[in-house]
Structure 1
Amino acid sequence: MATPLHFGFFSSFSAPAWHAPDDRMFGDDWPSGGYHSWLARRVEAAKFDFLFFEDTSGVSRINNESIDTDLRYALSAPKNDPVALITYLSAVTERLGLVATASTSLYPPFLLARLYSTIDSLSRGRAGWNIVTSSENESAQNFGQDALLPTQQRYDKAEEFVEVVSKLWGSWDADAVVKDLANNVYTDSSRVRSIDHAGEHFKVRGPLNTYPSPQHRPVFAQAGGSPRGRDFAAKHAELIMSVTIGGVEAMKEFREDIHARMRAHGRDPREARIVYALHPHITENVSTFRRSITDEQLVPVLGKHGAHLGVDLLTYDLDRPFPTDVEASGTTSMLTSLKEKGRRGITLREAIIDFHWGDDELGSIGPASSIAENLISAMDEAGGDGYIFMATQDANRAVIDGIIDELVPELQRRGAMRTDYAGSTFRENLFAF
């Protein structure tokens, strides 16, 4: 491998180990930020590029029914706001990129632009924004909406949203603050402009009123899996996450499709980094590990992913292939993967284990040395820029220690993972190689 890969760590500002088979109370101080402060320092010491936080803004009602399933199994709630969390984490880290999710369907663009500009300054240039359009009506109903817009309209709105915040971040030149004591001028007003945006969804005068931040705007991240989502990512994102299941061929298809879409938008594919979502689990016995996963462990996982899909996965037979005619109102990438595995005769049980505990097709369950070799081999064949390790709600000490103390050194020994940071900002490190 000529250059190292990029690595991120995926988390949630929620109970970190509640779905684990044991040590379930690990990190129970999570609401205070204590657990994620510990995690961020460990991830930074291991030289990951970034720590990435998902988010939702509602308590899910499976099939628009009771909130009991969500609350009983801690699926989407309780969950605190990761935008506030990355501000806190910026004070206990120095080089780690910090990415938080915020929705174009729920935030006003001026508020988001001002917030992320502030975080970028507080973190000295390490802020990232994961751009989502949201997928649950429960979230929309907390923000004065009866329901989310249909998918295509949500992306139309997101296009205008990104246009507005980009104008706001660009409303100050990088050198607008002159601090000219001799002439009593702090900011040169000729280098600051209104944006006077009036569109279909937003009307914003501007300019932004924050100090120009080190990166001037956060790193744009996106994980859309639908054709429209992929196109949005290809047009705007600098960090693109694929949650595709299906091994090397699926990885290769995703990368080639994204690069083709980027070229169609006039972008050089080198302007974005593609990372594949992965659930590595360090164990000496793969088959024993997979057989040890109980139905009780599967129930909350099915509930959680079903809520994001808009499909009650708990109503399907675990030991039969997932039907190929199911339609969903929410996230589409996982549904596509479940259908593809179903077409190949893979049961829903095995497909969910692949998705949540480590994809058997990529060899991401096993001894650390084997996983490292498998990940390098898959990347050499499929192409891409790195991986993002998923660790949400089963991230007890054994999971974290396995990744950081065993897998990371194996990757570093093989030259597949950096051993030090190249720059000081998130964008510098992301595009250093």
Structure 2
Amino acid sequence: MFHLGWFVGKGYSVHEWNKPWSGTIGQDWMEPDLYLDLARALERACFDYMLIEDGSFVADAYKGSAEYYLRNAYAVPKSDPLPLVPLLGHVTKRLGIVATVATSFYPPFLAARLGATLDHLTHGRVGLNIVTAHNDRAAQNFGLDRHYEHDLRYEMADEWMEVVNRLWASWEPDAIVADPQTGVFADHSKVHPIHFEGRYYKSRGPLNTAPGPQGRPVICQAGGSPAGIAFAARHADSVIAKVRGAAAAKSFRQRLSAQMQPLGRKPSDCKVLFATSVVLGDTMDDARDKRARMTAALADSMETRLAGMSYLSMVDFSKYDLDAPLPTITTNASRASFEAYLSGDGGKTLRDMLLDPSGGGLDFVGTPDSIAAEMGEIMQDVGGDGILIQDPLTRKTVAEITDGLVPALKRRSLVRKAYQHERFRDNLLAF
């Protein structure tokens, strides 16, 4: 069997605005209903988790202006996903709920306290998607002139994780006595300052709230660069990976496993879910026609893809010749996500890359049953732990996946038919 996750890749934002099947998102984007409906559907389908992306800036890389991003609701407006977590927890009982936290901008004590609080409110079902953030504009919103260098961000994040782990461990498991006979609520001898002083962070501790039911929230991570993989090997319970094709997916799993073992961690301690795009049809011809229409529409959405590449890289792609091979691009921003956006063939022109219909991950086109069979074969070959469904997010796509594809997967016994445990981490480690 393999695990299932859903990546809300545009965060708590405006999904598929002004497109078919988007409903009234232009008016009610700030309401929680779309996410509540998604969470209910995912739990019915026995998904492991939903993960909500986040970012803290208004992009202006494309043509040196914020106009395109604001006019088209591209990653803006975007609200903080953390307040959604208890709402999602209230309408579900088993689904893991993962919100994004940027180590570069959240002080460790604040993040540890939020994580513990949300774990209590969800009865042990919260996860934190640990990112280092990728953009100078975000850094400038938090008082920096420029963002920290890419690999330095991960060095700092290592120390950040050490602090939050110590804070979550600052209360011993039996520190709360709550004995009305003795009048003792918490045993002071079992709550400890951490007195941490490192190169980048300093915290006295202890945490002023008790850790949640999981002790430590599930830690998710999405960095695919060498520094990101090394970070995941040390800290992550689940990794979301966006790589092109089964061979690259297999290589990613092998690289992560090789780095985990010297650290005393088994590969099974960290579940890798591979980003996936799915084009479903009632028949194979329906699915192929749908994919063909999507591919044809790319010619009219080239500016969107240019703006997206600019968003991820902080490089203005409007200045490049569409009909010339793309030169080597170096960026201090989101390296792995940016590279997944490219076609991978250095001989192609920028136009060819923009017209590439691939989603940048594992791509499936077919009927629910044909895709279920293909997913089973690829997961067996890759040695991966699961599939991560990614945008677009509309109620139609949710129904296609949860009421169309997942039943086909269940008929083949490829995914769980019921949750075995109450808590997120226990379900994640169940197989």
Contact 1:180–1:186 at 8 Å: present in 2 too? yes
CA distance in 1, matches of 2:78, 2:168: 29
How many angstroms does 1:319 deviate by?
6.5
How many angstroms does 1:426 deviate by?
0.4
Contact 1:114–1:210 at 8 Å: present in 2 too? yes
Once the two structures are superposed, residues 21-46 of structure 1 have per-residue CA deviations (whole angstroms, 9 ceiling, x without a partner) of x2334545231211111111111111
CA distance in 2, matches of 1:5, 1:320: 42
Q: Trace 1:223-234 onto structure 2 (pairs within 5 A).
A: 223-234=222-233
| 1:325 correspondence with 2:328 | yes
Q: Quick one: structure 1 residues 244 and 26, their matched pair in 2 at CA, closer, same or farther if it must change by over 3 Å? A: farther
Q: Quick one: structure 1 residues 166 and 363, their matched pair in 2 at CA, closer, same or farther if it must change by over 3 Å? A: closer
Per the alignment, residue 5 of structure 1 pairs with 2
Per the alignment, residue 336 of structure 1 pairs with 339
Once the two structures are superposed, residues 56-85 of structure 1 have per-residue CA deviations (whole angstroms, 9 ceiling, x without a partner) of 001011158211121112122101111111
How many angstroms does 1:397 deviate by?
3.0
Per the alignment, residue 272 of structure 1 pairs with 270
Q: Trace 1:304-319 onto structure 2 (pairs within 5 A).
A: 304-316=308-320
Per the alignment, residue 164 of structure 1 pairs with 163
How many angstroms does 1:266 deviate by?
2.4
Q: Bigger CA drift: 131-140 or 302-311?
A: 302-311
**TM-score, length basis structure 2:** 0.92
3-state SS of the aligned residue for 2:210?
coil
Once the two structures are superposed, residues 349-397 of structure 1 have per-residue CA deviations (whole angstroms, 9 ceiling, x without a partner) of 244x3126xx5xx551222222211211111111110011002xx3223
Q: Quick one: structure 1 residues 373 and 298, their matched pair in 2 at CA, closer, same or farther if it must change by over 3 Å? A: farther
Contact 2:275–2:389 at 8 Å: present in 1 too? yes
Q: Quick one: structure 1 residues 343 and 66, their matched pair in 2 at CA, closer, same or farther if it must change by over 3 Å? A: closer
Q: Bigger CA drift: 215-224 or 27-36?
A: 27-36
Per the alignment, residue 359 of structure 2 pairs with 355
Count of matched residue positions in the alignment of Structure 1 and Structure 2: 420
CA distance in 1, matches of 2:163, 2:209: 15
Contact 1:309–1:332 at 8 Å: present in 2 too? yes
CA distance in 2, matches of 1:228, 1:66: 31
Contact 1:277–1:390 at 8 Å: present in 2 too? yes
Counterpart of 1:310 in structure 2: which amino acid?
M
Q: Quick one: structure 1 residues 179 and 128, their matched pair in 2 at CA, closer, same or farther if it must change by over 3 Å? A: same
Counterpart of 1:425 in structure 2: which amino acid?
R
CA distance in 2, matches of 1:207, 1:167: 9
CA distance in 2, matches of 1:344, 1:19: 35
Contact 1:14–1:80 at 8 Å: present in 2 too? yes
CA distance in 2, matches of 1:63, 1:231: 31
Contact 2:13–2:78 at 8 Å: present in 1 too? yes
Per the alignment, residue 426 of structure 1 pairs with 424
How many angstroms does 1:339 deviate by?
5.3
| 1:248 correspondence with 2:246 | yes
User: Which among 230, 254, 257 is matched to residue 255 of structure 2?
Assistant: 257
Per the alignment, residue 287 of structure 2 pairs with 285
Q: Quick one: structure 1 residues 99 and 203, their matched pair in 2 at CA, closer, same or farther if it must change by over 3 Å? A: same
Per the alignment, residue 68 of structure 2 pairs with 69
CA RMSD, aligned part only? 2.0
User: Gaps (5+ residues) in structure 2?
Assistant: none
Counterpart of 1:100 in structure 2: which amino acid?
A
| 1:211 correspondence with 2:213 | no
| 1:100 correspondence with 2:99 | yes
Percent identity reads: 37
Counterpart of 1:151 in structure 2: which amino acid?
H
| 1:189 correspondence with 2:188 | yes
CA distance in 1, matches of 2:413, 2:321: 43
How many angstroms does 1:17 deviate by?
2.0
Contact 2:310–2:316 at 8 Å: present in 1 too? yes
| 1:16 correspondence with 2:19 | no
3-state SS of the aligned residue for 2:415?
coil
Contact 1:168–1:207 at 8 Å: present in 2 too? yes
How many angstroms does 1:338 deviate by?
5.0
CA distance in 2, matches of 1:90, 1:305: 34
**TM-score, length basis structure 1:** 0.92
Q: Bigger CA drift: 289-298 or 146-155?
A: 289-298
